[in-house]
Amino acid sequence: MQTHAALDELPFDIASLHAAYEAGTRPADIIGECYRRIAAAQDPGIFITLIDEAVARDEAGRLGPFDREGKPLWGVPFAIKDNIDAAGLQTTAGCPGFAYEAEVDAFTVAKLRDAGAILIGKTNLDQFATGLVGVRSPFPPPKNAIDPEIVPGGSSSGSAVAVSRGLVSFALGTDTAGSGRVPAALNNIIGLKPTIGSISASGLVPACRTVDTISIFALTVEDAYRAFQSAAGHDPADAFSKSVPVPDLTAPPPNLKVGIPDAGSLKFFGDTAQADAFKAALDTVRSFGCETAEIDFTPFYQVAEMLYGGVWVAERHSVIGPLMDRDPEAVHPVIRQIVGAATKYSATDTFNSLYRLETLRRQCEAAIAGLDMLCVPSIPTFATVAELQADPIGPNTRLGTYTNFVNLLGLCGIAVPSGTRSDGRPASVTLLARSGQDGLTAAFASRLHRKAAVILGATGWALPEAPALSISPQADEIAVAAVGAHMSGLPLNSELTRLGGRFLAGATTAPSYRLYSLAGGPPFRPGLVRSADGAAIELEIWALPIAAFGTFLRGIPAPLGIGTVTLADGSAVNGFICEAAGLDGAEDITAFGGWRAYLASRTEPGGASPR
């Protein structure tokens, strides 16, 4: 058993905990250390309900032998926002007048416990998950883990602070307008907002049920994603639940196209340190070989305005309206003001808003066409507790500048620390992508996090070494080698990504192939042909869902096809090959070693290339 001093210094990221368990540490000792840290934090605003320590120790003692494979969260302490049910505990949603005792665990909480995680308690929040500041609560508000003068962020304030201070390994929040991302940015941690429906909402007190999702806070991207993998799954009892694949993390593609707000769209409200931090983050993105494209964010902002300034506030009223009618003083006055506005909208207003949302959605989709993801500031500026006391609405609205539109548009996202501002405050960006692309944003976020090399939350712990990434397809996927226009950043890559394809690794063929630039185009295509006097050719290996493979094959024109390609290590993979009959008029480009190198040699003045 480890000494108290050793436990006192032990980082609570999952890799460190599991290494300690393998060295003989008992889960009950980790639980004891968890409660010691909570007491030492001296912040009564973090938790609304703490599970009795003896009960948590008993749960830890029932885990059985260490089982990293069968229980990927074995012995990992976690917390949940107090609008999520845990059996036998009150769910308050930050409102004592609303409280009830949950009979069963929320679907997601049950899945996390099945994966070996140990629940410690339920955390504070902006009442009814309405707010981005974290201080709209009848309970003492938690203190920001980095600087107590700054708001902790909401509505998932307690969950974010608990993680940032190293009290638990991860925590569940929720996200409707940014409640899983804003507190992460303000507390220097990861905030993973998954594809809506990928995590069940059964056992969650809804804010806006059509756009809510449970979210995950963690110290590292890998921990957030591992918890996401354990939490995700279709729930027949939740009408909004979806079956969304959550494959193992792989490296991000090397040539991503990343959309960013154009100069006229960026909003920092005079915060030059935040503007400089975002510029530095974009420099890092470009240093990874990504191409950035500026887009007009006006339609995104127009969508954002609809969430609180339109009929969606009626979804919140559907939950707390009866309480407001029965006992209005039970509801926080700011929330009563916000949600009370719902009564002025009619059914006609609702349908008109739905029509307008679809029009704006088309505009946003057009803006991101051809892009792999978006990179935006997580927050445009900071807000202090004093500013909130003077103006309860304005600073909250500003914090949602880059978050309020996300769920209405069905995007997934992840907030990640990107460095430290010139004034010492944490810098953060959020990566956004289309529904189902959670693995892509997480993989890239991990790379950004490690480049930033910041401490974990407010703990002083260093970011652990990056774990080995998977380079193998899942059981329901097939590996496909792309040698030309289907590679990342090239014109036909979307034929893979729109079918759920994901990048696995870069590789080269065995030295027994020749590469040709085929006649015709655009798009211009290469042809890979096996040859006794060949060379090694660069390629990319992608994983494609087996269910989509037939659809992909139908889109491949002659003389190209899918055959077996031998790699440099002697292994074989399905990949693009060319019939010899298709080489009429083709140019032998084998000497370039790959399609990208050939394109680079043909780059025309002004940056145009034969793609």
Backbone CA torsion sign across 402, 276, 433, 244: negative
Residues with Cβ within 8 Å of residue 182, at least 6 apart in sequence? 132, 153, 154, 191, 378, 379, 399, 400, 403, 415
Which residue intervals of 129-208 are DSSP H helices? 157-164, 182-186
Query: What is the distance in angstroms between the CA of the first residue and the CA of the last residue of the chain?
Result: 61
**CA nearest to 398, candidates 382, 377, 374:** 382
Residue 3: HSE in the Cβ half-sphere, 13 Å Cα cutoff: 3
Of 164, 179, 198, 230, catalytic? 179
Contact 173, 405 (CB under 8 A): no
**CA nearest to 48, candidates 12, 77, 79, 75:** 79
Beta-ladder partners of 157? none
Strands lying side by side in the sheet with 170-175? 47-50, 118-123, 77-81, 170-175, 213-218, 190-193, 412-420, 426-433, 373-377, 257-261, 291-295
At 424, give phi and psi (nearest 5°). 90, -10
Of 71, 137, 155, 517, catalytic? 155
Cα–Cα dist 302/489, whole Å: 29
Active site residue 81: yes
Active site residue 159: no
Cβ burial of 11 (10 Å; 0-12, 13-18, 19+) is: buried
Torsion of CA 139, 213, 220, 288, to 10 degrees: -130
How far is Cα of residue 445 from the mean position of the Cα atoms in its chain?
8
Of 81, 111, 143, 193, catalytic? 81
Active site residue 179: yes
Number of neighbouring beta carbons within 10 Å of residue 392: 19
Catalytic residue annotation: 81, 155, 179
